[in-house]
Structure 1
Amino acid sequence: MFRQALVAGGGIGGLAAALAVSRAGWDVRLFERANAFSEVGAGIQLGPNVVKVLQGWGLAGALQIVAAFPERLQVRSAISGQVLGELPLGATIAERYGAPYATLHRADLHRLLLEAVQQNADVKLHLSRPLQSFSQTAQAVTVQADDGPGIEGDALIGADGIWSTVRQELLGDGLPRRTGHLAYRALVRQADLPEGLRSQQVTAWLGPRMHVVQYPVRGGESLNVVAIVHGEVASEADLWDHSANAADLAAATAGCCAALREVMDAIQGWRLWVLHDRAPMQGAHQHAVGRVALLGDAAHPMRPYLAQGAGMAIEDAAELGRALAQALDPALDVPTMLQRYALNRWQRNARVQARALRNGQIFHADGVVRWGRDMAMKMLGEKVLDLPWLYGAASAQS
């Protein structure tokens, strides 16, 4: 039975959706507003729950080439430098959950998915064609992507990011909220760092109203560093002004220990992002209505304190593929199967959003709460840092 899905957005979520839905037996047309496929940002962490999905799509070999697979996660105090807790990764986490923990550059993951999609003749990619509007009936959904005639399909997947046009037209629930947190991101070749600052592990430095995470990418050749601090920027600020960003970040982390300061001082090219999110999902209606479904940041933008934003988009895509594969059966209509997708995803995504919010409070704690956090990590260590409910829950699409 011929089915056609229309996908809005060519980022990681949109490409993952296109790949999963085409593997499910659908034709796919993907619409991207930019004139080229690209991904901004720096590093990304993928837990075993997400790596397992990519392996199920036949991408294990491609991932092995571009990713790093750290041997451990270490949590340290940003003020004293003291080690608070550790979680073994590498072979330990792979044996525990059936897949390794990977760290890689966002652009490398994007390219990996794009190449997989381009190998599939059932996917048509359209650049410089932002989705402008859509309408749906019981029988079809029609999108307007330019000044030409509408394009009809059986389902529309809104994977167009945190400022999703599809979401605004589908739900009309306003814009994402500013979190009051700023993310400074940098990527540096390890060979350009002093030997003592090079690292092949994930390290999280926790401090009052801030934290820093560093980990290897590109097979360990580069180090990704992200510092998140409380604060706002003036609306006229140039977020790409590297010298100003470096000065602001230095001021925000002035009280940190010498070991962390050495890492920060060795990097000059900081890019600044103003973080936005939405409240945790409240119901399946925020994932799908009729023949239109939302995926990734369009559905559930989250704070980066659980390192699962892209991961949840990839999990969404896998579940979407499973649901739409069943919609090839004439007895199962598309809206029903999209509703099943929504019901199977919204509670997990809401839990991840809520846990990310809570982690932000814990990571940035001060006073008695900070003392309690540090003691809990020292006493319980791995039990606090391991997340079986998260890492062991996803399954690969066949």
Structure 2
Amino acid sequence: MTRNIAPAGLTQVVIAGGGIGGLAAALACSRQGVAVQLMERASQFSEVGAGIQIGPNVTRILQAWGLEDGLNRVAAFPKRLQARDAQTGQVLGRLRLGERAQALYGAPYATIHRADLHALLLDAAQAAGVQTALGQTIAGWSESAEGVTVQSVSGQTWQADALVGADGVWSAVRQQLLADAPARFTGHLAFRALVPQADLPQGLRSDEVTVWMGPRLHVVHYPVQAGRALNVIAIVHGEKPANPHDWDHAGHADTLMQAIGHTGNDLRQRLEAIPAWRLWALHDRAPVSAASQMAQGRVALLGDAAHPMRPYLAQGAGMAIEDAQVLAQCLAQGSGTVAHRLQAYAEKRWARNARVQARAIRNGQIFHAQGLVAIGRNLSMRLMGERLMDVPWLYGGGSVTA
């Protein structure tokens, strides 16, 4: 069965993937008057139970999309980020967020449950007229001078002017477009937990972002759900899983406890208070090296499909949201053919995404440093503090305008 997308006077787009990146792209395009059909392989919309950090570069865009009230309702807005030594518990440096972030960058620093952000984007996208097709896995597409024909595994087809692959790190759209190697295992495993703050001893509750740095590991925790819950991520070095696609399953606490055995009591007490964990094997790709890795012809990639990155700069979802904003602007306001507009999107995005990918890799090396390198890290953070921890080129948004 063929389903034609109703034109909105501008480019008609099919978006593959209904996660945060896909919904952000759908909402951004729809707000620009572009008709959108969104395909999602799951039978219902859902998002995994983990928190994410969204810097001012991202909250600025979400506010421009009309989501400020929703963010204020479900997110937390930490006033400070602190870095601590995982072995000694010593505070290495602090970065003021809160009013400082608002004053410097024009938007706050927020922490939010992924499901809450997903729900905000989904509600807004549907209210904006985005059409959704659940239970539809993309099988492939064919491109002609007239447009793109997108086929699903179930046999349905859609006609559109452009296809956007926002289908994650194992992107089927990317595989057909670039035919490159699969995403690589980073050698890192992420244990994640979400704990009601009321269930924690008073001394373990927190309204800040805290990063604990130790040899071959680090731990991050911060409030979500308007401060009612604490999101905890412990990342350790580990073996590649037998099935890398099985990226979310119950994690064994004894595996984590063994990995953190050499850390100090301050950190161990926090982790031992958590009853259950979920385990992710982290995958990424080398930083983007050319615009052609993000768009060719009438097909573009967005978010993890284009530039999966390590979580050590807390910008995976953020870069997908920035991608969405620039994509919508290029499609709706650009000139020339659809291919020219998608090329403009890729040209505007690839270098910034590559820089964030590279910085995230570097941050991971710093967080997990050992020996003399760790001593140098600690000394630098004590001396420079806020100047070293802030990222003005990132939080200022670069060339991305809300």
Q: Where in structure 2 are the equivalents of 1:85-234 lying within 5 Å?
A: 85-121=93-129, 123-148=130-155, 150-234=157-241
CA distance in 2, matches of 1:241, 1:292: 33
1:57–1:397 Cα contact (<8 Å) kept: no
2:249–2:280 Cα contact (<8 Å) kept: no
Q: Deviations over 1:72-91 (max 9, x none)?
A: 00000000000000000011
CA distance in 2, matches of 1:147, 1:250: 45
CA distance in 2, matches of 1:236, 1:324: 38
Q: 1:397 to 1:124 in 2, by over 3 A?
A: farther
Name the structure 1 match of 2:6: none
Q: Deviations over 1:117-166 (max 9, x none)?
A: 11012x10000011110111232011001444531100100000000000
Q: 1:2 to 1:90 in 2, by over 3 A?
A: closer
Which residue, out of 314, 318, 335, partners 2:325?
A: 318
2:14–2:37 Cα contact (<8 Å) kept: yes
2:184–2:283 Cα contact (<8 Å) kept: yes
Q: Deviations over 1:294-336 (max 9, x none)?
A: 0000000000000000000000000001101125xxx621110
Q: 1:233 to 1:277 in 2, by over 3 A?
A: closer
Q: Deviations over 1:205-243 (max 9, x none)?
A: 00000000000000000000000001115527997664x
Report the 3-state secondary structure (helix = DSSP H, G, I; strand = E; otherwise coil) of the residue aligned with 2:21. helix
Letter in 1 for 2:368: H
Name the structure 2 match of 1:60: 68
Gaps of 5+ in 2: 1-8
Q: Normalized against structure 1, the TM-score is what?
A: 0.96
Q: Deviations over 1:32-59 (max 9, x none)?
A: 0000000114100000000001011111
CA distance in 2, matches of 1:296, 1:396: 15
Report the 3-state secondary structure (helix = DSSP H, G, I; strand = E; otherwise coil) of the residue aligned with 1:305. helix
Q: 1:236 to 1:115 in 2, by over 3 A?
A: closer
Name the structure 2 match of 1:252: 259
2:11–2:332 Cα contact (<8 Å) kept: no
CA distance in 1, matches of 2:209, 2:292: 37
Aligned residues: 393
Q: Deviations over 1:72-120 (max 9, x none)?
A: 0000000000000000001111111000000010000000100001101
Report the 3-state secondary structure (helix = DSSP H, G, I; strand = E; otherwise coil) of the residue aligned with 2:252. helix
Name the structure 1 match of 2:4: none
Letter in 2 for 1:17: A
Report the 3-state secondary structure (helix = DSSP H, G, I; strand = E; otherwise coil) of the residue aligned with 2:380. helix
Q: 1:126 to 1:282 in 2, by over 3 A?
A: same
Report the 3-state secondary structure (helix = DSSP H, G, I; strand = E; otherwise coil) of the residue aligned with 1:65. helix
Q: Percent identity?
A: 59
**1:299 counterpart = 2:303:** no
1:57–1:396 Cα contact (<8 Å) kept: no
Moved over 4 A (4+): 236-242, 394-398
Q: Normalized against structure 2, the TM-score is what?
A: 0.95
1:54–1:396 Cα contact (<8 Å) kept: no
CA distance in 1, matches of 2:128, 2:209: 35
CA distance in 1, matches of 2:321, 2:233: 22
Which residue, out of 291, 296, 299, partners 1:289?
A: 296
Q: CA deviation at 1:393?
A: 2.0
Q: CA deviation at 1:3?
A: 2.6
CA distance in 2, matches of 1:321, 1:108: 23
Report the 3-state secondary structure (helix = DSSP H, G, I; strand = E; otherwise coil) of the residue aligned with 2:373. helix
Which residue, out of 337, 347, 354, partners 2:341?
A: 337
Alpha-carbon RMSD: 1.5
**1:12 counterpart = 2:16:** no
1:315–1:394 Cα contact (<8 Å) kept: no
2:11–2:338 Cα contact (<8 Å) kept: no
CA distance in 1, matches of 2:243, 2:369: 30
Q: CA deviation at 1:270?
A: 0.6
Letter in 1 for 2:30: S
Gaps of 5+ in 1: none
Name the structure 2 match of 1:29: 37
Q: CA deviation at 1:2?
A: 4.2
Report the 3-state secondary structure (helix = DSSP H, G, I; strand = E; otherwise coil) of the residue aligned with 2:387. helix
Which residue, out of 381, 387, 394, partners 1:383?
A: 387
